[in-house]
């Protein structure tokens, strides 16, 4: 496929960024350039914010149903291009074609769900202690929202931030990850083709100056961010210094607990999906496995067989289950993390050597590490790759305590056939999302998505929860004049 010249969308025009070159190569075959352009600068941010602010009030003055109709139309357009954009996504990001197409469809589903928000309840009505009065709580737009998105879901995460921001009457200045500029262009093109007014969305590229400039800009009224915990906290402190709300979705070290009474076939399949799909590059990926001691030998044997059977390679090949890491730097960091764990006493459960040299791509074989005798670093810290660290617990109670011994609290999975054990997990686990008998990853558009502890700051995303962040309440004491 030819390389695409990716531009920014600023003040109603597709323009080159003022910054240095941006070049995105296929992580499975780095000789191939997928997209080329230039990155955004603080000047680009200035122009984008000014344009967004100029357009916001007119957009907010439209009915909510009119705004929703634009999102619904965008959903239809996006679904119609799912194969094409999904293939671009796979070439740009490295996840498999099936996942790439699935992600574009998912983005369409999110736009459609949010596009129907006007048909849902819009606020609350309270009684008043005073005769002849009602008290309404209505929701008003926040203003102009800075949106900062990661590489790993190039269109689904942007959709779940941008759609509710727009629906609730805000304008958006979006700084996309420099690793996935092409899908960012596709989403903006789709929204414009669906009838979104030009100045309500602005797109900036790159991982340089634009992000910090956006967060610091006095014209930005709130920032939503997904990425690492380190950057998320920096964004949150910059936001706090300016007195604006920040929503940050950050790291995870998500555990799957497999208890002795679990359906082991189900558990193996789901743990593998959680740990290795998207090459482990999901904040919701399973990166810790806690197995009840009584079944650890059997479970690890099954896990090893199934993991060894996963085909790694070109994500466009339908036989391939696991694509490359997003970059050479990520691959090197993941390989270094594995080495450190092995030097520290962990042992490799899987047969394949982690380093895989295929077409010069950034591949790492899916790797399971037995961390019973060492490897606390890989047990505690997010590697963001296809690496699963394993420890054992004597019983459910100690397994649940281990889940909670983490600075993170995004998602967890518990595999058991005992409903009482499952309900205990519901009560005890400090996570934003708990899966009973399914993998740790995944997020439906109509329910809250979020974490606790080091995994998140601010209100949850998606579903009706999104309204918390993208609106501000206004309490109205309503009386007649008489």
Q: Is position 392 an interface residue for ligand UN1 (rule: CB under 6 A)? A: no
Size of the site for ligand UN1 (CB under 6 A): 12
Q: What are phi and psi of 197, to 5 degrees?
A: -60, 140
Closest CA to 154 of 130, 173, 177: 177
Under the binding rule (CB under 6 A), the answer on residue 109 touching ligand UN1 is no
Q: Nearer Cβ to ligand UN1, position 249 or 370? A: 249
Query: Residue 198's closest CA among 74, 356, 345, 12?
Result: 12
Quote the CA–CA distance of 197 and 55 in Å, as a whole number: 8
Do 257 and 414 touch, CB atoms closer than 8 A?
Answer: yes
Q: State which of positions 241-260 bind ligand UN1 (CB under 6 A).
A: 249
Residue 179 found at the interface with ligand UN1 (CB under 6 A): no
Tokens at 196, concatenated = 């979104």
Active site residue 371: no
Interaction between residue 400 and ligand UN1 (CB under 6 A): no
Q: How far is the CB of 279 from ligand UN1 (least distance, A)?
A: 12
Using rule CB under 6 A, residue 283 touches ligand UN1: yes
Q: Is residue 408 at the binding interface for ligand UN1, with CB under 6 A as the rule?
A: no
Q: Tell me, yes or no, if 249 is annotated catalytic.
A: yes
Nearer to ligand UN1, 111 or 349 (CB): 111
Question: Does 442 contact ligand UN1 by CB under 6 A?
Answer: yes
**At CA 150, angle to CA 149 and CA 153, rounded to 5?**
100
284 contributes a contact to ligand UN1 by CB under 6 A: yes
Is residue 47 near ligand UN1 by the rule CB under 6 A?
Answer: no
Q: Which of 283, 371, 461, 468 is catalytic?
A: 283
Of 467, 477, 480, 478, nearest to 139 by C-alpha is 467
CB of 278 vs ligand UN1, minimal distance in Å? 8
* 462 belongs to the binding site for ligand UN1 (CB under 6 A): no
DSSP 8-state code for residue 244: -
Distance CA 418, CA 421 (A): 5
Strand partners, 127: 134
Give the x-and-dash track for 139-178 against ligand UN1 (CB under 6 A).
-----------x-xx---x---------------------
Answer for the pair 92, 74: CB distance below 8 angstroms, yes or no: no
CB atoms within 10 A of CB 379: 22
As a whole number of angstroms, the distance between CA 65 and CA 45 comes to 30
Please count the CA atoms within 13 angstroms of the CA of 330 that sit on its side-chain side: 23
Q: Which of 210, 268, 303, 443 binds ligand UN1 (CB under 6 A)?
A: 443
Using the minimum distance from each CB to ligand UN1, give the nearer residue, 282 or 288.
Answer: 282
Residues annotated catalytic, as ranges: 249, 283
Give me the residues that bind ligand UN1 (CB under 6 A), please: 150, 152-153, 157, 226, 249, 282-284, 441-443
């Amino acid at each position: 496929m030819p390389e695409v010249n990716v531009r920014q969308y600023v003040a109603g025009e597709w323009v080159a960024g003022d910054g240095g070159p941006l070049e995105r190569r296929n992580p499975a075959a780095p000789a191939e350039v997928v997209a080329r352009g230039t990155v955004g600068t603080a000047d680009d941010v200035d122009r984008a914010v000014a344009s967004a602010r100029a357009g916001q009030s007119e957009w907010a003055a439209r009915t909510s149903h009119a705004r929703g109709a634009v999102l619904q139309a965008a959903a239809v357009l996006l679904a119609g291009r799912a194969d094409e954009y999904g293939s671009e996504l796979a070439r740009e990001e490295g996840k498999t074609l099936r996942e790439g197409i699935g992600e574009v469809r998912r983005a369409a589903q999110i736009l459609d769900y949010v596009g129907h928000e006007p048909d849902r309840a819009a606020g609350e009505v309270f009684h008043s202690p005073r005769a002849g009065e009602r008290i309404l709580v209505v929701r008003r737009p926040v203003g102009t929202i800075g949106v900062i998105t990661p590489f790993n879901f190039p269109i689904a995460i942007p959709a779940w931030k941008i759609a509710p921001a727009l629906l609730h009457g805000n304008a958006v200045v979006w700084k996309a990850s420099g690793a996935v500029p092409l899908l960012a262009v596709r989403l903006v093109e789709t929204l414009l083709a669906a009838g979104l007014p030009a100045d309500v969305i602005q797109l900036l590229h790159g991982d340089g100056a634009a992000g910090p400039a956006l967060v610091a800009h006095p014209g930005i009224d709130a920032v939503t961010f997904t990425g690492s915990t380190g950057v998320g906290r920096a964004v949150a402190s910059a936001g706090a210094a300016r007195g604006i709300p920040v929503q940050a979705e950050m790291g995870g070290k998500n555990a799957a607990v497999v208890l002795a009474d679990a359906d082991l076939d189900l558990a193996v399949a789901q743990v593998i999906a959680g740990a290795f799909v998207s090459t482990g590059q999901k904040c919701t990926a399973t990166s810790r496995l806690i197995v009840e001691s009584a079944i650890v030998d059997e479970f690890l044997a099954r896990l090893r067989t199934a993991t060894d059977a996963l085909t790694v390679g070109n994500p466009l090949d339908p036989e391939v289950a696991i694509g490359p890491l997003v970059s050479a730097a990520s691959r090197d960091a993941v390989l270094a993390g594995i080495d450190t764990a092995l030097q520290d006493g962990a042992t490799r459960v899987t047969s394949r050597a982690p380093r895989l040299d295929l077409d010069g791509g950034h591949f790492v074989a899916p790797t399971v590490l037995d961390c019973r005798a060492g490897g606390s670093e890989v047990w505690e810290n997010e590697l963001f790759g296809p690496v699963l660290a394993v420890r054992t617990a004597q019983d459910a109670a100690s397994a649940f305590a281990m889940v909670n011994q983490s600075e993170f609290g995004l998602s967890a999975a518990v595999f058991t056939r005992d409903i009482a054990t499952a309900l205990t997990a519901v009560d005890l686990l400090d996570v934003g999302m708990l899966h009973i008998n399914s993998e740790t990853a995944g997020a439906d558009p109509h329910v809250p998505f979020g974490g606790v502890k080091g995994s998140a700051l601010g209100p949850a995303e998606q579903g009706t929860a999104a309204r918390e962040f993208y609106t501000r309440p206004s309490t109205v004491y309503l009386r007649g004049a008489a």
